[in-house]
Structure 1
Amino acid sequence: MCQEEKRVKSFGERWRAPYACDPANSRGRLFPTDTSPTRSEFQRDRDRIIHSSAFRRLKHKTQVFVYHEGDHYRTRLTHTIEVAQISRAIARSLGLDEDLAEALALSHDLGHTPFGHSGEDALNRCLKSYGGFDHNAQALSIVTRLENHYAEHDGLNLTWETLEGLVKHNGPLLNKDGTPTERYKVSGIPQLILDYNKQQDLWLDTYASGEAQAAAIADDIAYNTHDIDDGLRAGLFELDELREIPLLNALLDEIDSRYPDLSTERRGHELTRRLITRFVEDVVRESDLNLAALNPKSADDIRHASKTQVTFSAEMHAADQAIKGFLYPHMYRHERVMSVRKDAENIVESLFRHYMEHEGDMPEEWQVQTQDMPQKALQVANYIAGMTDRYAILAYQRLFGSVPSLR
């Protein structure tokens, strides 16, 4: 057996459940390419995402705090790395393809704007007359069209499985009768997704793969734990205020019983560490039960199931909701955060209005020179959505002569 054949064979040596996505049997890429002698198709997807410009920009896109608030707060990049680690752990335990789960985790936030959800809300208002803004649709647009690293095609030319998971990691977009699911009942499915789906059918009326479901729940776990950590670091709430949540109260009791003299900082880190462990172990245990009941023989059996298979238990779901319920008023709507949000939204909306009226102030490669307002608005939104926090602040300062304090 030649060395190349040995390398290809090694891809299958890791345990893989029958319901896992198999890179050797991928539904392929929109633009066919030769296989790699050293990497599986899903490994190649992961690597293409890591080497993309959009991925690098995540370093200076924030979650809740603006980039200059401090070096220890999460950015989109650090959050994405944490999601990737958790998704790999869940995928490994369930016999899913770790590389696909990682690729989906690494790509799930590519479509986010500067300034976190503040920027997204502002851009959504700016595009209200043109279908609104959706970060999942934007991520699809980035990996299929806006990245331009390849000589032969636009986009990253990812596999069908990665694109499907990117679009559907939160569940189906269509009901079986062709109507939008609850999430899109009011706004409708983003046109960007519908347009791409005409080129490559992503099965919008089914669930995504188990790997995509693992990445989605890993996102929830990472969000909860790192927002607790960041909120404590910022002084938005005190550690013992978290005792109103039964799970966190029990974890703090465990910590205080074993380490009665622990400093407040170490106590907080120990809480988030244990919380991640409890979440992951619960997901693996509950998902094992779900999968045993479904008894899937293929990845498509998970796609065609009647519900999500990679889930929290009912008890842990309640804990997840309780944590979100605590963080909403104590962190996301804290007066300090809301003040920053208002300034950030003003930056995004002002930039949008200016570029719509003065297209020539955008870089030449972003100018479309068209009187078609929807097309122009979409291009302006693409440009702004790709900005980092600091790039947006500098652009605003250059155009308007000053910048909000964002503090």
Structure 2
Amino acid sequence: MQDTFEPRLLREQQEAMLSCYATRSRDSRGRLTDEAECSVRTAFERDVGRIIFSMDFRRMRHKTQVFFNPQNDHICTRMEHVLSVNYIANTIGRVLGLNPDLIQAIALGHDIGHAPFGHSGERTLDQCLKKVSPEDFFQHEVHGLRVVDQLSMHHNRRGLNLTFEVRDGIASHCGETYYETVLIPDRDKDPDDLPNAAKNHGRPATLEGCVVRFADKIAYVGRDIEDAVRSGIMEYQDLPSAVQTSLGKSNGEIINTLVTDIVQNSYQRDGIFMSDACGESMRALLED
């Protein structure tokens, strides 16, 4: 009699072909509450489904990214942003031989705790909390961890019970505020210290998390410029000439330049690296 076929085991065998720096689902550091394994999906694939089908993920379609313009359907929403991050991160990750399921789970969930109106909304909520209690604060990475661990519902229970690696990626994703050109995973991170790591913008524990952190920055920069152009605030030719020369003159050119640069500098290395030239151009865009 033929043994029962478990597709999950086939998926784990396929993961064995990934880079030596990739995170394999069988090596996951587990969930907050232990669960029986699925016969079809790996642990990271299950996390993707839990995030996508959560009410918190669905609400991102109504959250604006930076520009508030309800009369224009082509201005980026938070939902569109996370889809862009997912695509950019997986483009980089596949070339580097990383785990696409882990990348997807982190990318789709990374902004699940974000406020509307981008970082302006985040700062406003933070100021409101501090008026009530100076010790309190609002930081979307920390709140994202709170959402997936405590607020979101799964099978009539609070919390999605995600793997450590996905929770860490959500808590450690914030890259658009910090001008990094090198990101080495913190593989010894304490699972019990994720809230503090998020508060202090600690490094992700996996290389997949590092990729998402860079992809978030890339998507943020390129698309915000496109939205500014679409809203009539600026034109692409208003970008500094040095930036146009080094990165490009459109959202597509900027993304392609940065993705290519990261892939070329990070291949077969246990870290994500951006050239100094692209790093300086990114800094110029983020600071303007």
TM-score bracket relative to the smaller structure: 0.7 to 0.9
**1:223 — aligned with what?**
220
What is the distance in 1 between the residues matched to 2:222 and 2:191?
39
**1:143 — aligned with what?**
148
Specify which structure has the higher proportion of helix: 1
- How far does residue 99 in structure 1 lie from its aligned partner after superposition? 0.9
Conservation of the 8 A alpha-carbon contact between 2:85 and 2:216: yes
State the secondary structure of the residue aligned to 1:70: coil
1:211 equivalent to 2:208? Answer yes
The farther-off stretch of 80-89 and 232-241 is 232-241
**1:160 — aligned with what?**
164
1:323-371, Cα deviation, whole Å (9 max, x unpaired): 2233xxxxxxxxxxxxxxxxxxxxxxxxxxxxxxxxxxxxxxxxxxxxx
Hey, which bits of structure 1, 4+ residues long, moved more than 3 A?
Answer: 197-207, 249-252
> 1:113 pairs with 112, 115, 120, which one?
115
What is the distance in 1 between the residues matched to 2:37 and 2:128?
43
**One-letter amino acid of the structure 2 residue matched with residue 208 of structure 1:** A
State the secondary structure of the residue aligned to 2:57: helix
C-alpha change, 1:248 and 1:198, in structure 2 (3 Å) is: closer
What is the distance in 1 between the residues matched to 2:102 and 2:8?
19
State the secondary structure of the residue aligned to 2:125: helix
- How far does residue 249 in structure 1 lie from its aligned partner after superposition? 3.3
**2:86 — aligned with what?**
84
C-alpha change, 1:88 and 1:322, in structure 2 (3 Å) is: same
1:78-116, Cα deviation, whole Å (9 max, x unpaired): 011000001111111111111111111111111111222
State the secondary structure of the residue aligned to 2:254: helix
> 1:95 pairs with 89, 94, 97, which one?
97
**One-letter amino acid of the structure 2 residue matched with residue 119 of structure 1:** G
- How far does residue 206 in structure 1 lie from its aligned partner after superposition? 6.2
1:53 equivalent to 2:15? Answer no
**1:4 — aligned with what?**
5
What is the distance in 2 between the residues matched to 1:150 and 1:324?
41
Conservation of the 8 A alpha-carbon contact between 1:169 and 1:208: no
Conservation of the 8 A alpha-carbon contact between 2:111 and 2:170: no
**One-letter amino acid of the structure 2 residue matched with residue 162 of structure 1:** V
**One-letter amino acid of the structure 2 residue matched with residue 278 of structure 1:** T
TM-score (norm: length of structure 2) = 0.84
Larger Rg: 1
**One-letter amino acid of the structure 1 residue matched with residue 26 of structure 2:** A
**One-letter amino acid of the structure 2 residue matched with residue 221 of structure 1:** I
The farther-off stretch of 227-236 and 64-73 is 64-73
C-alpha change, 1:272 and 1:3, in structure 2 (3 Å) is: farther
Conservation of the 8 A alpha-carbon contact between 1:245 and 1:319: no
Question: Identity over the aligned pairs, expressed in percent?
Answer: 37
Conservation of the 8 A alpha-carbon contact between 1:144 and 1:156: yes
The farther-off stretch of 78-87 and 29-38 is 29-38
- For residues 174-189 of structure 1, the aligned pairs below 5 Å read none
What is the distance in 1 between the residues matched to 2:247 and 2:282?
14
What is the distance in 2 between the residues matched to 1:167 and 1:73?
26
State the secondary structure of the residue aligned to 1:17: coil
**One-letter amino acid of the structure 1 residue matched with residue 123 of structure 2:** D
C-alpha change, 1:199 and 1:247, in structure 2 (3 Å) is: closer
1:313 equivalent to 2:272? Answer no
* Runs (5+) with no aligned partner, structure 1: 172-196, 253-267, 297-308, 327-407
**1:285 — aligned with what?**
264
- How far does residue 12 in structure 1 lie from its aligned partner after superposition? 2.6
1:323 equivalent to 2:285? Answer yes
Conservation of the 8 A alpha-carbon contact between 1:83 and 1:105: yes
1:117-151, Cα deviation, whole Å (9 max, x unpaired): 22211110111124211111100000000012323
**One-letter amino acid of the structure 1 residue matched with residue 172 of structure 2:** K
What is the distance in 1 between the residues matched to 2:191 and 2:263?
36
What is the distance in 1 between the residues matched to 2:265 and 2:277?
11
The farther-off stretch of 98-107 and 137-146 is 98-107
What is the distance in 1 between the residues matched to 2:136 and 2:27?
36
Conservation of the 8 A alpha-carbon contact between 2:229 and 2:235: yes
1:146-178, Cα deviation, whole Å (9 max, x unpaired): 012323x4210000111122222359xxxxxxx
What is the distance in 1 between the residues matched to 2:33 and 2:247?
50
State the secondary structure of the residue aligned to 1:36: coil
1:56-80, Cα deviation, whole Å (9 max, x unpaired): 0100100112251410000000011
What is the distance in 2 between the residues matched to 1:13 and 1:55?
29
- How far does residue 13 in structure 1 lie from its aligned partner after superposition? 1.7
- How far does residue 3 in structure 1 lie from its aligned partner after superposition? 5.4
The farther-off stretch of 64-73 and 74-83 is 64-73
**One-letter amino acid of the structure 1 residue matched with residue 160 of structure 2:** L
* Runs (5+) with no aligned partner, structure 2: 176-188
